[in-house]
Amino acid sequence: MKRLGLFVVALIFAFSTTVMAADKAADKAVKAADVKEEAAVKAADVKEEAAVKADAKKAKAAKKSKAKKAKAKKKAAEKKADEAAPADAPAVK
């Protein structure tokens, strides 16, 4: 009877340690999934932020290009007007 009692205690101990080990493994898996999810969210945020910055850069470059074209057009018009003006008449600026 004593052996049976010790055997039962040993079985309960083995079962409880196995369950605790499984819980620890499950907790680690959950933590790993949380970390992975957080990393994915951060990556998405960084990607979105980079897209916003790229759009701002494109808009700024387009604005600059437009201004450059307008300036070149104005300069060409002035040059054309200067060429069209008589040579002996003083140019008005």
Could you report the per-residue pLDDT of 7-42, keeping only the tens digit for each? 999 999 999 888 888 888 888 888 889 899 999 999
The pLDDT value recorded for residue 5 is: 93
In the predicted model, is pLDDT for residue 91 greater than 80? no
Indicate the pTM of the whole model.
0.44
Quickly list DSSP for 48-89.
HHHHHHHHHHHHHHHHHHHHHHHHHHHHHHHHHHHHHS-SSS
